[in-house]
Structure 1
Amino acid sequence: MKIAIFTDTFDPDINGVARTLKRFTDYLGKQNISFKIFAPKSQSDEYVTSHIHRFKSLSFFLYPECRLAFPNLSQVKSELQDFSPDLIHVATPFNIGLCGAYYAKKLNIPLVGSYHTDFDHYLQFYNMEFLSKLLWRYMNWFHRPFKKIFVPSNDTLEHLKRHGFKNLELWGRGVDCNLYHPYYEKKAVRKQYGIQKKYLLTYVGRLAPEKDVKTLLAIAKSIPAYINEYIQWVIIGDGPMREELENEAPENMMFTGYLRDEKLAEIYAASDVFVFPSSTETFGNVVLEALASGTPVICANAGGVKHIIQEGITGYLCQSGNAQAFTDSILHLIHHVQVRDQMGIEGRKYAVSQKWDTIFEQLLWQYMNVIEEPKQQKFA
């Protein structure tokens, strides 16, 4: 099997799409399955390989981690003809995704796609709801030729069904439980970041309106003073709202910027509670990473994350934007250490069952069905 992947974001970009695709291509490499990636040049191209063709690009204003690239069409056509893929997988609906869909039709190559980001939900955070109908018209047109559209959660699948999408298949997410685990030396992590307070609360993600970080700030400010003096917040991530948040943040809130790999895993493991108010997630990789690290999660009862958390068992689900509900849940876990510890155990147990290899094997079976379909129709 030969697979060509067209995406407007890829490693070393730090977002769910890029990280998922990097893990998938790592898996393909281990399985000796040939692949070629078409992606934009990023600001720091650390990942250099003959498997990837990069194009000049500019950041997209609504989602800077996705870049608007300027693919050389003749080069793309030439590389595709030389590579001769059995299937094209388009992961994003921007310029490179359009390029992949165009050549799938032109060269008669089976086409599938994956839906990672609910841009429609983002519009409300940027006062651009008036674009919603136009956006859905475009998204329906763009995805219509795909033989399969892979979505990360049942919530996203039902959401797209309501908007008339066809050929939807669930493509879940796993977690690397060898990297994310509870067994890091917590005292060493605290010492490294100068954390002396008793309780460590953590957020990981973009610092942008669609992640509802305003609610995060409201949560931090609404915790009663008698317990707040024992709490340290660590905010991991970056984005357009970082400066504003740092200016408004309480004294016990620390901003680290993006962390990766072991440095990120150590913070998860050292945390007492992971707090994630975003209501726009199609899945929520960071939530699963926190669970794998033995850390209970308090998150919005919305989007893909609501399917990851078992209410009262691995964490709590709160009404989106309701800072008081989040605060009450945080206080409950701080005051009940046995509940917190048991949730950490149950979260780890759940995460260990979410294996990437199993998820990728199922995706390859779906690929094979799409590739074989024209042959079956021919002999029907």
Structure 2
Amino acid sequence: MKILHIVQCYHPVVGGSEWLVKNISEQLVTNHQDEVTVFTAAATKPAYFWRNEGAPMPIGTEQINGVTVRRFKLFRRLRLLRMLWAHSFHRLQLPYNDWARTVQLGPLIFNMPRAIANSGADVVFATAFPFMHMYYAVAGARRANIPVVLLGAIHTADKWGYDRKMIFSAIQKADAYIAHTEYEKKYLIDRGISGNKISIIGGGVDIQKFEEAEGTTIRQKYSLGNDLVIVAMSRQSELKRLDSLVQAMPRVWDKYPQARLLMAGAKTAYSAQLDSMIAKFSPAQQAQIIQIHNFPEAEKPQILAAADIFVHPSGNESFGIVFVEAWATGKPVIGANIGAVASLIEEGQDGLLFEYGNAASLAEAMLVLLSSKDKRQVMGQKGQQKVLENYSWEHVSDQLRAVYEQVVAR
């Protein structure tokens, strides 16, 4: 099969969609001998589309692990004007404010629809909203009568980014849509999308790397010893709600004063607020919190394996791949009882849910797991089995290829 994948950026750029497309593309080449091409922007990160963050990459075509990768030149002019247009149209709720927001975000690659139409592909797949290339994929594929499959990775809590009529219109025009969770599928059905065109396929992980991780090196490196360790792993953005985790810790320390909190993730402008919250704790409590801001991707499995429990308090997730990664190391998880997260975690089976944004509820869930090693072990094992059955890259790519076969055969 001749397959065209379209994504905002591609390896070596780091990101959820970038990682998903890289792994699926390489799996299809290796396991099915498919001819896979990736169209993407010539940028080191998506933020380069609309502001001076990141840098350009060489324009042109290259081969990466058997995948043909074509990077397109970006139009980056009028960025200030585009931003003012988007924000003013949205604030005043003017007609086409969703288009204004999308043009502001980009990537603006004016020759991409024609390139898609001329690609000769049997099927086109694109991810993720709210970027402009999703509409290029639909326009180019329809121009050449090529079936198109979309994976939106919709963050339903982000109204600015995803509450756009044009997103639902594009999904209506697509031949098939991939939802990460049952929650996302229901969200789209409620907005007029036919359930018949929606398949549920989660994200994938390199299971072996996580299964083999022991966490010993991390415990030694940060002098964690045999203390109970709570791990959180995410960028320190406001949307991830790490504030509720920090606020929950005093209740945990009341019962387990030696419990350690390890927060791993890149700093953002919001980090100063988290640091201010932590600074209000006693010196002894502050010493129980460890922050790791820069760590190589290869160290992620070891960090997760060092945990007794994994906590991710975010309510702004399209899937929650970090839960899958924690399960792959055999750890029980705690997530917010909201959105996609609530449909991913099986309450009481492979993890616990807490009331989103409620520090007392989160503390209660953590105490339940910290108090029982047996419960932690059973939930961690069930989570790991779920990953083995549903979230290997081979399984995910095979599921997606089955969707490709269906739309091509119509």
Q: TM-score range by the shorter chain?
A: 0.7 to 0.9
SS at match of 1:84: coil
In structure 2, which of residues 235, 243, 249 is the aligned counterpart of residue 206 of structure 1? Answer: 235
Deviations 1:338-375 (A, max 9, x none): 222222222222222223322321221211121121xx
Which AA in structure 2 matches 1:175? Answer: V
User: Is 1:138 matched up with 2:166?
Assistant: yes
CA shift, 1:208, in A, is 1.9
Query: What is aligned with 1:179?
Result: 209
The one-letter amino acid of 1:34's match is: E
Give the structure 2 partner of residue 69 of structure 1: 107
CA distance in 2, matches of 1:352, 1:220: 32
After TM superposition, list the pairs within 5 Å mapping 1:284-363 onto structure 2.
284-354=320-390, 355-363=392-400
Q: Deviations over 1:117-168 (max 9, x none)?
A: 22x4123xxxx6xx98xx3322222322101111111010001110112322
Contact 1:197 1:230 in 2 (8 A): no
Q: For the residues of structure 2 that align with 1:206 and 1:57, how far apart are their CA atoms? A: 28
Secondary structure of the residue aligned to 2:186 is helix
Distance (Å, rounded) in 2 between the aligned partners of 1:34 and 1:262: 29
Q: CA deviation at 1:192?
A: 2.4
Question: In the alignment, does 2:260 pair up with 1:231?
Answer: yes
Q: Deviations over 1:176-205 (max 9, x none)?
A: 220112x43433221223435712111112
In the alignment, which residue of structure 1 is the partner of 2:153?
116
Distance in 2 (alpha carbons) for counterparts of 1:196 and 1:246: 25
SS at structure 2 position matched to 1:85: coil
Which moved further from structure 2: 239-248 or 33-42? 239-248
2:97 paired with 1:56: no
Counterpart-to-counterpart distance in 2, 1:306 and 1:176: 23
Shift of 1:49: 3.6
Query: Residues 162 and 361 (structure 1 numbering): CA distance in 2 closer, same or farther, change over 3 Å?
Result: same
Cα distance in structure 2, aligned partners of 1:106 and 1:281: 33
Give the whole-Å Cα distance in 2 for the aligned partners of 1:295 and 1:198. 16
Q: Secondary structure at the match of 2:157?
A: helix
Alignment TM-score, normalising by the size of structure 2: 0.78
1:357-376 paired onto structure 2 within 5 Å? 357-373=394-410
Amino acid at match of 1:162: D
Q: Which runs of 5+ in 1 are unaligned?
A: 374-380
C-alpha displacement of 1:114: 0.9
The equivalent position to 2:270 in structure 1, one of 235, 241, 263, is 241
SS of residue in 2 equivalent to 1:5: strand
Q: Which residue of 2 aligns with 1:11?
A: 11
Say if 1:238 and 1:20 are closer, same or farther in 2 by CA, change over 3 A. farther
SS in 1 for 2:146: coil
- The number of aligned residues is 358
**Structure-2 separation of matches of 1:292 and 1:7:** 26
Residue type matched to 1:177 in 2? I
Q: Secondary structure at the match of 1:353?
A: helix
Letter in 1 for 2:348: G
User: 1:150 matched to which residue of 2?
Assistant: 178
Match of 2:191 among 159, 163, 171: 163
Counterpart of 2:173 in 1: which secondary structure?
coil
Matches of 1:2 and 1:192, distance apart in 2: 47
Which letter maps to 2:334?
A: I
Which residue pairs with 1:21 in the alignment? Answer: 21
Once the two structures are overlaid, the 10-residue window that deviates more, 106-115 or 187-196, is: 187-196
* CA distance in structure 2 between the partners assigned to 1:174 and 1:195 by the alignment: 30
The one-letter code of the counterpart of 1:107 is: A
> How far does the alpha carbon of each residue in 1:207-240 deviate from its partner, in whole angstroms, 9 at most, with x for none?
2222222222222344334524432323334444
> What letter is aligned with 2:134?
G
Kindly tell me: are residues 137 and 77 of structure 1, through their superposed partners in 2, closer, same or farther at Cα, counting changes over 3 Å?
closer
The one-letter amino acid paired with 2:313 is P
Contact (CA 8 Å) 2:213, 2:329: kept in 1 or not?
Answer: no
> Which segment drifts farther, 270-279 or 7-16?
7-16
Separation of aligned partners in 2, 1:238 and 1:107: 44
The equivalent of 2:126 in structure 1 is 90
Equivalent pair of 1:8/1:68 in contact (CA under 8 Å): no
Within 2, Cα distance between the matches of 1:79 and 1:326?
Answer: 47
